[in-house]
């Protein structure tokens, strides 16, 4: 049996009782560590906090393990109980559907234990979850790679008066270009996009496109460490949020669409001024 268990957003205590029961009966426990990370970080300390709670070792599954070595997880699940833990909800990221499909094709039973996701936790700012359009991902720009396909999606959402959730790039265990050329993998230090960088990139794209999908005066909400004790939520224009210090990762951003008076009332609690 493969149990795919959501851990929620805050800390190790956000696992559900059902999730904890599943983990406790599993022979092997993997944790996905690249589409998200726990608010207390996936340092060795972070892992040992989980291990202490579960009373068993937790195997870190980075991008290579999940995408290239999924067979290891699946073959273990074919003849024993295996848990695959995901921060947030298992389906709050597109990547895990693939693991479910592969497991089912191999005849492995799959059970999913849901939890809170960033996709619904952003509701805390008062913008109705029903009023969101397509979610976009904002990748880190490099000198030679500045993809902007999110622009049309935001433009479309705004045209319909809908809010846009922007998920911000996480770069963990990225091989350096140099090491790829040499054939021996060495990794870049982890990077997590801040609200400030996201806005900088969004404004650069708007300047290049010039189609007024949004501007410096567009109202947004920035979120950091949602679900944690020290979460930070600030509403303001892109210009205002560009200089707000949101602190440690993870961050995400909502570009506000057309608002209802009740949504405005809730946003007032988070405004910069
Ligand atoms: C693939 S998504 C979410 C995955 C997770 N499984 C979930 O359901 O929440 C990862 C992105 O969501 C955002 N994110 C995740 N957790 C967050 C948090 N606690 N606070 C703010 N943003 C968060 C970040 O932009 C991050 O790059």
Of the residues 70, 91, 116, which one is the last residue of a structural domain?
Answer: 116
Same domain, 130 and 21: no
- Does pTM top 0.90 for this prediction? yes
Domain count, the chain: 2
Of the residues 116, 151, 181, which one is the last residue of a structural domain?
Answer: 116
Instruction: Give the model confidence (pLDDT) of 71-114 as tens digits.
Output: 889 999 999 999 999 989 999 877 788 889 999 999 999 999 99
User: How far does the centroid of ligand 1 lie from the alpha carbon of residue 51, in Å?
Assistant: 22
Of 198, 246, 252, which Cα lies nearest the Cα of 206? 198
CATH code for the domain in which residue 45 is found? 3.40.1010.10
Same domain, 232 and 133: yes
Instruction: Give the model confidence (pLDDT) of 212-221 as tens digits.
Output: 999 999 999 9
Q: Classify the C-alpha dihedral 6-12-18-24 as positive or negative.
A: positive
The answer to whether residues 173 and 68 touch, using CB atoms and an 8 Å cutoff, is: no
Answer yes or no: is the C-beta of 93 below 6 A from any ligand 1 atom. Answer: yes
Of 148, 139, 134, which Cα lies nearest the Cα of 257? 134
Answer yes or no: is the C-beta of 74 below 6 A from any ligand 1 atom. Answer: no
Q: Is residue 273 part of a domain?
A: no
Q: CB 14: neighbour CB atoms within 10 A?
A: 19
Rounded to whole angstroms, the Cα distance separating 217 from 238 reads 6
Same domain, 261 and 128: yes
pLDDT of the chain, 273 residues: tens digit per residue: 999 999 999 888 999 999 999 999 999 999 887 665 655 445 545 567 888 889 999 888 876 666 666 888 999 999 999 999 998 999 987 778 888 999 999 999 999 999 999 999 999 999 999 999 999 999 999 999 999 999 999 999 999 999 999 999 988 777 777 777 777 777 778 889 999 999 999 999 999 999 999 999 999 999 999 999 999 999 999 999 999 999 999 999 999 999 999 999 999 999 986
Same domain, 218 and 91: no
Of 158, 165, 117, which Cα lies nearest the Cα of 138? 165
Of the residues 82, 116, 150, which one is the last residue of a structural domain?
Answer: 116
Answer yes or no: is the C-beta of 172 below 6 A from any ligand 1 atom. Answer: no
Q: List, as residue ranges, the binding site for S-adenosyl-L-methionine.
A: 9, 89, 92, 117-118, 168, 226, 251
Of 262, 223, 215, which Cα lies nearest the Cα of 239? 215
Cite the beta strand spans of the chain per DSSP E.
2-6, 28-32, 59-61, 82-86, 110-113, 136-138, 164-168, 170-171, 191-192, 219-224, 232-237, 251-255
Q: To which residue do tokens 């265990």 refer?
A: 173
Nearest CA to ligand 1 atom 27: 168
Rounded to whole angstroms, the Cα distance separating 149 from 152 reads 6
């Amino acid at each position: 049996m493969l149990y795919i268990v959501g851990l929620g957003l805050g800390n190790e205590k956000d696992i559900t009782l059902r999730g904890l029961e599943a983990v406790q009966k599993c022979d092997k426990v993997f944790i996905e560590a690249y589409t998200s990370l726990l608010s207390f970080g996936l340092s060795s300390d972070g892992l040992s906090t989980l291990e202490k709670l579960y009373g068993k070792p937790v195997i870190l599954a980075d991008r290579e393990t999940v995408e290239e070595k999924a067979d290891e997880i699946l073959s273990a699940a074919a003849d024993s109980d295996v848990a695959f833990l995901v921060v947030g909800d298992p389906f709050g990221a597109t990547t895990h559907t693939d693991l479910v499909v592969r497991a089912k094709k191999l005849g492995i039973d799959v059970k999913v234990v849901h939890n809170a996701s960033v996709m619904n936790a952003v509701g805390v700012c008062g913008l109705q979850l029903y009023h969101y359009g397509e979610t976009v991902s904002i990748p880190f720009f490099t000198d030679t790679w500045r993809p902007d396909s999110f622009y049309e999606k935001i433009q479309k959402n705004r045209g319909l008066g809908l809010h846009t959730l922007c998920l911000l790039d996480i770069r963990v265990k990225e091989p350096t270009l140099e090491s790829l050329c040499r054939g021996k993998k060495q990794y870049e230090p982890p990077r997590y996009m801040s609200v400030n960088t996201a806005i900088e990139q969004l404004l650069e794209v708007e300047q290049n496109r010039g189609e007024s999908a949004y501007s410096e005066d567009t109202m947004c909400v920035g979120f950091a460490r949602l679900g944690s004790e020290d979460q930070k939520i600030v509403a303001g224009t892109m210009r205002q949020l560009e200089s707000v210090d949101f602190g440690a990762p993870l961050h995400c951003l909502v570009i506000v669409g057309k608002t209802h008076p009740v949504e405005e009332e809730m946003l007032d609690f988070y405004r910069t001024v």
